[in-house]
């Protein structure tokens, strides 16, 4: 069994946040707690008043870019140094992220005999990188937050290459996939905003630290608007296929959480790291999936991502609460500040 990072905290205690992250911790935890309710409310508004969002679809990539810029603001160089310090754990987590969720998305689509648009949407959710809400949920679960943050950062950086390629392989049988166009979309709406945020953090760290408590709420607001736009654009599909989409999302997310933990155990990681892999694998950047589905497939294909955006925060919080009652010392780390 491979050794895990050790620290001298009392077993079962929460990780001690760094000075930079302390300012955003309370806001992060509150935002993640209320996030499902706020996004559910946004979806209800989109469903009940779809005409209110007519013509808003082109703004989705820009809203996602704002969310990813905020993610970049929460990043620091140690997030990437952790990759060099623990290459096996990061490599295992990254492999699990881009094998388990795409594969289970394809299996769920087959098992439920989903329509081509919904099948492509479910698979695209699985091919997306990890979501930043996983970092906060890992913190609540007394897991290895440092590993969680590193995995989210690395999976986001490699997503322009892996997400389009995996989507082509697994969803190409359902709908045409333009990998070049999708790669360009991810570069413009994900990687460049993240890098811009990271640069701003490095140049104006003190100002960014002051803004950390606000960032989760700005991210939640932007994601809520994305969900409202997606639901409004596929209101008819919601009414006709809501049960099927919800079943697909719950099954997909549940398999991701369970298999993420199992991958960590099979890879010889300790319990805190396994908890981190649970959420890194099971919780996706559903905002990115919704944006890509709406831009490259259809509004109906974006529906699974919109539902996933709500559900994975609910399930993540429940699993974290269960984990936190099982006493294990976590590995070191702070928390990310913007849920996705």
Tell me which residue range forms the domain holding 74: 35-49+58-324
Q: Is residue 333 situated within a structural domain?
A: no
Q: Is residue 200 situated within a structural domain?
A: yes
Tell me the two tokens of residue 71.
Answer: 């993610």
3-state helix, strand and coil shares in percent for the chain, rounded to the nearest 5: 75, 0, 25
What pLDDT is recorded for position 247?
95
- Spatial distance between the Cα atoms of 50 and 179, rounded to a whole number of angstroms: 30
What pLDDT is recorded for position 29?
59
Q: Is residue 259 situated within a structural domain?
A: yes
Q: Is residue 68 situated within a structural domain?
A: yes
Whether residue 333 contacts residue 81, with contact meaning beta carbons closer than 8 Å, is answered with no
Mean of the per-residue pLDDT values for the chain? 83
CATH assignment of the domain containing 290: 1.20.1530.20
Q: Is residue 13 situated within a structural domain?
A: no
Whether residue 228 contacts residue 43, with contact meaning beta carbons closer than 8 Å, is answered with yes
Q: Is residue 339 situated within a structural domain?
A: no
Q: Flag the least confident range among 10-24, 119-133, 191-205, 318-332.
A: 10-24
Tell me which residue of 134, 190, 176 sits closest to 337, measured CA to CA: 134
- CA-based R_g, the chain, Å: 18
pLDDT digits (tens, 9 = 90+) for 185-203: 999 988 899 899 989 999 9
Q: Is residue 5 situated within a structural domain?
A: no
Q: How many domains does the chain divide into?
A: 1
Q: Is residue 301 situated within a structural domain?
A: yes
- To the question of pTM greater than 0.95 for the whole model, the response is no
Tell me which residue of 339, 226, 232 sits closest to 291, measured CA to CA: 226
């Amino acid at each position: 069994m491979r050794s895990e990072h050790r620290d001298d905290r009392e077993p079962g205690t929460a990780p001690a946040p760094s000075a930079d992250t302390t300012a955003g911790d309370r806001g992060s935890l509150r935002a993640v707690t209320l996030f499902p309710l706020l996004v559910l409310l946004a979806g209800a508004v989109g469903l009940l008043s779809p005409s209110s969002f007519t013509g808003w679809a082109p703004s989705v990539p820009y809203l996602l870019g704002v969310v990813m810029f905020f993610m970049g603001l929460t990043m620091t160089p140690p997030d990437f140094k952790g990759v060099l310090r623990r290459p096996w754990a990061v490599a295992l987590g990254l492999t699990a992220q881009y094998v388990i969720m795409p594969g289970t998305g394809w299996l769920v689509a087959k098992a439920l005999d989903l329509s081509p648009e919904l099948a492509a949407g479910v698979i695209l959710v699985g091919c997306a990188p990890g979501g930043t809400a996983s970092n906060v949920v890992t913190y609540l679960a007394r897991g290895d937050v440092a590993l969680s943050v590193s995995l989210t950062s690395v999976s986001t950086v490699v997503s322009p290459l892996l997400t389009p390629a995996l989507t082509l392989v697994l969803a190409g049988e359902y709908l045409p996939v333009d990998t070049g166009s999708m790669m360009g979309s991810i570069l413009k709406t994900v990687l460049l905003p993240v890098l811009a945020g990271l640069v701003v953090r490095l140049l104006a760290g003190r100002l960014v630290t002051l803004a950390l408590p606000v960032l989760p709420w700005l991210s939640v607001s932007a994601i809520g608007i994305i969900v409202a736009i997606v639901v409004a654009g596929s209101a008819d599909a919601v009414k006709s296929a809501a049960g099927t989409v919800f079943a697909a999302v719950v099954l997909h997310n549940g398999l991701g959480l369970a298999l993420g933990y199992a991958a960590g155990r099979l890879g010889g990681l300790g319990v805190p790291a396994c908890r981190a892999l649970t959420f890194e694998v099971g919780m996706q950047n559903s905002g990115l999936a919704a944006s890509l589905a709406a831009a490259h497939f259809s509004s109906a294909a974006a529906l699974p991502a919109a539902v996933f955006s709500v559900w994975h925060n609910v399930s993540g919080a429940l699993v974290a609460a269960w984990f936190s009652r099982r006493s294990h010392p976590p590995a070191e780390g702070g928390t990310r500040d913007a849920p996705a």
